[in-house]
Structure 1
Amino acid sequence: MATTGKNKQYQIIGVLGLYSLLTALAGSSTNLALPRIAIDLHVASSTATWIVQVALITTTILLVMFGHLGDLMSKNLVFTAGGILFTIGSLITGIAFDIVTMLLGRFEQAIGAAMVMANSMGIVTENFDDHNRAEALAAIAMFISVGSISGPALGGLIMSFASWRWIFLLNVPLGIIGSIIGYRVLTLPKWRWRDVRTATAGANWTGQNLFTVGIILFFLSGSIFQNGLNRWPLGLALLVVGTALTAWAFIQDDRAKKPWLAPSLARNHDFIISVVLLGLTMLVNAVSNILLPFYLQSFGGMSPLGSGLIMVLQDGTMLLITPLVGWLADHWDRTKLTMVGLMVLVVSQIGYIIFPSTMDLWRIIPPIVLNGIGMGLFLTPNNAITMGVVAPALTGVAGSFNSFSRTLGMTMGISLGSALLFLQLPGIRQITPALGSRFMHAFAVVFAIATAISLIALIVVIWRAWHSARQSAH
């Protein structure tokens, strides 16, 4: 349904790409800065991981809601407002002088990021038809890769010469530029507050509140386990109640008069499988993103710049292969592409298991590069499959649910990775080289679990390919 001219399409890609770059830049650079932030703010390494987790949890909670609001009101309006909130949150985070203020800034940053992410794919789907949608999504993925690449490299460079605060403050002028461009390029309706109230009247706020409480309790349980098993009954109780509330939120939403997630999407098996696969792969990828800075800097003694340049290799590889993958996804079997990507991802996780206790780059770099290749081969065709099986009227909520799965996977990966690591190192506040084999054993155990999860995703893709071939034969 191509209703937009080529020039306008390029401008839209530019705006969406800029905001995608900013949100990816904030996430990847924050991961790298955690060891330094923990020292400067006088908090434990395990506590510092919440600087990342609070943003991801907030984004996870709000993504589907903002996608639905984009469908009800205007995707362009919600997207543009999100860019403004993201910029304000970056400013608060950059000037924070204690952990509480920093978490508040990250919270606002995450609200803006959720508004941006929830509507990006819907805006693409509204302006690109099926024959060039995968290439447009690949272009957005390239901006995300550039942001992810720039984060570690830029973060490492900044921390080599200045405070880590500039990692967040640099987002402010870029965010202002993005807001100005977005206002000029995206068509914004003139909505008044009573129009908003009319459009959202009867929305399922009960389901949203259940989901919010459930997700918060679910991830708080990880924090309990992260500090040891002495409070395991409380952690288990939070995990069970949080999981139950989250599950009930989806059941309640399915029965609501105005559900956030359209019932037709909830019953679309191809859509659900694709978003579940995305969540699993992002979980696996996030484990390495959260643990590698501690391995390279805290344990290996590497400088922030050095570790940042090494971590750049993962997203740099993704960036290099994304244009080719976008073309292949429009001209070859997308399911087979995702299968190949997951095979490579499994091999990369095995490589992390056998990481050396010394900084031997010839053994460290290959798994990181393979991780990037696997993710690059998987993401674009899977996104194209996801958005290609939904009705045009549901592209906003479908795109937001896809982003929700992506962010939930990242959040669970960071929570799982950090909780499993520190659970094996009770009483340790800071990772240091003195931990020796204790740290390396804990590190390997975490990636053994990540390998198992990536194998599960691969098995699901193989089953999907077999099932599709069987249906075609009939």
Structure 2
Amino acid sequence: MSAVKFSIRNYVAVIAVLIVLVMTVLDVTVVNVALPVMADKFGISDSDAVWIVTVYQLVITMLLLPMSSFGDRYSYRRCFMAGVLVFTISSVMCALSGSFAMIVAARALQGVGAASVMGVNIALTRLIYPREVLGRGLALNAMVIAIATAAGPTIAGAVLSGASWHWLFLINVPFGLVAFILGKKLLPPNPSREHHGHYDWLSAILNVVVFGLIFLSVGNFARKGDVTVNTCILAVGVVTGIFYVRRQLGMESPMLPVDLFGIRLYSLSISTSVCSFIAQNLAMIALPFMFLNSYGFSEITTGLLMTPWPLATMIVSPLAASYVERHNAGITAACGMAVYAVGVVLLISAPSSGIAEWNIAWRMAVCGIGFGLFQTPNNIVMVMATPVHRTGGAGGMQSTARLVGQTLGATFVTIVFAMTTGVVTSVRVCLYAAIGFAIMAGLFSLSRAGGVREKI
């Protein structure tokens, strides 16, 4: 970064943002590992224990856009600092929880803090990094997320081997305090604007209701809940969503960024992102079943076999960021999806028995290389296609697109497993579907190549 102005102050501000980003990602992966222990502690079923993770993700999805809108109108820094404070305090509450109800409530509050941080993370990154190297900042975010995802199970195992599950939450406290102090001193203010307008509380409430009801019903359908009740919940969510969208259409800076969807480059990038994360989750969730049940690998070996994917993404992301500083990001992202699809084809064509671990690991790495080659260029296009003062809304929608894709991918896996017979057949159907969505993502990306050349 020597060719551009990037001070020590900028570097430390980046550290503050990345610390909290790691915390929010780890609090999904580490808690997943601890669910059996926590189920036993609270005397609940495994299906009930899943709510400890689900409520955290659900609250984040419901609040991402309202928090992004707050950041756009008032201050990304204030939203970030409030989020860090809420997340840290709620981590202590999680550790002190003596009942299932209390930890679910604490995890919901933790989701509020995480949404406040995630909703403005990309906006702060855009303000911290000079335009010339913004791609490297977004690549660093992707790399950190990949590291946290890959390291989460290992960290959880290490903590649980020598301490109780409470420490999975308490370790957030010192890091949260450091991030709060650094952020308060070093994070940049919003660019000046003539007027901010009033915060749209009604839109915030509608957003919470729409995303909350729709994702709750989708999750319940996947878990084979009561069809009538779930249909009613979904119907209310959809009807409310129609009213919500119509209300946003007449606004200058809407909470749901329908104004940004008028930018062809941005709308294509969002579509690309949703399809790509559906493709990713279809494979990531289905493959462990094949490794465990078809190949007969142990749980530890299965976990290790999943690791090459995020590690490859971690390595390739910064390289892709440097590459697209000189080359077309739309074409690069499309090539990434093509490589990903090749990786999935290689997994499908792997021997059905007697395969060595290394022979699976390199195929997983190909998938990770493809996704790393795709993710950073796609993020760059999404950010650079929008006005600076709408970066919060754009970033919030980017995170929402990721969560929507991941949720739909997980739901599709559940449906496929319920409708097919045999693990091998189910996994293959999921992998073929992953290839289909990867191709869709690649085509969306190619269709924006001309616009990328003009905009970036």
TM-score by length of 1: 0.82
Partner residue in 2 for 1:194:
none
Partner residue in 2 for 1:148:
149
Asked if the contact 1:225–1:235 (Cα under 8 Å) also holds between the matched residues in 2, the reply is: yes
Indicate which of 444, 447, 450 corresponds to 1:460: 444
C-alpha distance in structure 2 between counterparts of 1:42 and 1:284, whole Å: 36
Q: Do the aligned partners of residues 99 and 344 (structure 1) sit closer, same or farther apart at CA in structure 2, a change above 3 Å counting?
A: farther
Q: SS where residue 259 of structure 1 aligns?
A: coil
C-alpha distance in structure 2 between counterparts of 1:32 and 1:397, whole Å: 33
Asked if the contact 2:124–2:188 (Cα under 8 Å) also holds between the matched residues in 1, the reply is: no
Matched, 1:451 2:435: yes
Q: Do the aligned partners of residues 7 and 254 (structure 1) sit closer, same or farther apart at CA in structure 2, a change above 3 Å counting?
A: same
Asked if the contact 1:341–1:374 (Cα under 8 Å) also holds between the matched residues in 2, the reply is: yes
Asked if the contact 2:289–2:427 (Cα under 8 Å) also holds between the matched residues in 1, the reply is: no
Q: What pairs with 1:13-412 in structure 2 (closer than 5 Å)?
A: 13-34=14-35, 37-38=38-39, 41=42, 43-186=44-187, 201=198, 203-228=199-224, 231-256=226-251, 259-261=254-256, 264-290=259-285, 302-303=298-299, 306-350=301-345, 361-362=357-358, 364-412=360-408
Q: SS where residue 9 of structure 1 aligns?
A: helix
C-alpha distance in structure 1 between counterparts of 2:127 and 2:346, whole Å: 41
Q: Do the aligned partners of residues 216 and 241 (structure 1) sit closer, same or farther apart at CA in structure 2, a change above 3 Å counting?
A: same
C-alpha distance in structure 2 between counterparts of 1:293 and 1:109, whole Å: 29
Residue identity in the other structure for 2:313: M
Q: CA RMSD in A?
A: 3.4
C-alpha distance in structure 2 between counterparts of 1:131 and 1:56, whole Å: 33
Percent identity reads 25
Asked if the contact 2:336–2:373 (Cα under 8 Å) also holds between the matched residues in 1, the reply is: yes
Structure 1, unaligned runs of 5 or more: 190-197, 426-436
Instruction: Report deviation, 1:352.
Output: 5.6
Residue identity in the other structure for 2:408: M
C-alpha distance in structure 1 between counterparts of 2:364 and 2:286, whole Å: 12
Asked if the contact 1:208–1:249 (Cα under 8 Å) also holds between the matched residues in 2, the reply is: no
Q: Do the aligned partners of residues 277 and 147 (structure 1) sit closer, same or farther apart at CA in structure 2, a change above 3 Å counting?
A: same
1:364-401 deviation per Cα after TM superposition (whole angstroms, max 9, x unaligned) = 42443233212211111111111111112222222222
C-alpha distance in structure 1 between counterparts of 2:374 and 2:242, whole Å: 27
Structure 2, unaligned runs of 5 or more: none
Residue identity in the other structure for 1:54: V
C-alpha distance in structure 2 between counterparts of 1:45 and 1:95, whole Å: 21
C-alpha distance in structure 2 between counterparts of 1:260 and 1:456, whole Å: 28
Asked if the contact 1:70–1:78 (Cα under 8 Å) also holds between the matched residues in 2, the reply is: yes
C-alpha distance in structure 1 between counterparts of 2:323 and 2:252, whole Å: 41
Instruction: Report deviation, 1:79.
Output: 0.7
Residue identity in the other structure for 1:448: Y
Asked if the contact 2:343–2:366 (Cα under 8 Å) also holds between the matched residues in 1, the reply is: yes
C-alpha distance in structure 2 between counterparts of 1:364 and 1:158, whole Å: 29
Instruction: Report deviation, 1:134.
Output: 0.8
Asked if the contact 1:3–1:127 (Cα under 8 Å) also holds between the matched residues in 2, the reply is: no
Q: Do the aligned partners of residues 174 and 220 (structure 1) sit closer, same or farther apart at CA in structure 2, a change above 3 Å counting?
A: same
Q: Do the aligned partners of residues 468 and 173 (structure 1) sit closer, same or farther apart at CA in structure 2, a change above 3 Å counting?
A: closer
Residue identity in the other structure for 1:174: F
Instruction: Report deviation, 1:287.
Output: 4.0
- Identify the range of structure 1 (33-42 vs 393-402) with the bigger mean alpha-carbon deviation: 33-42
Asked if the contact 2:289–2:423 (Cα under 8 Å) also holds between the matched residues in 1, the reply is: no
TM-score by length of 2: 0.85
Asked if the contact 1:53–1:411 (Cα under 8 Å) also holds between the matched residues in 2, the reply is: no
C-alpha distance in structure 1 between counterparts of 2:258 and 2:122, whole Å: 20
Q: Do the aligned partners of residues 314 and 166 (structure 1) sit closer, same or farther apart at CA in structure 2, a change above 3 Å counting?
A: farther
Partner residue in 2 for 1:432:
none
Q: Do the aligned partners of residues 458 and 99 (structure 1) sit closer, same or farther apart at CA in structure 2, a change above 3 Å counting?
A: farther
Alignment coverage as a number of residue pairs: 446
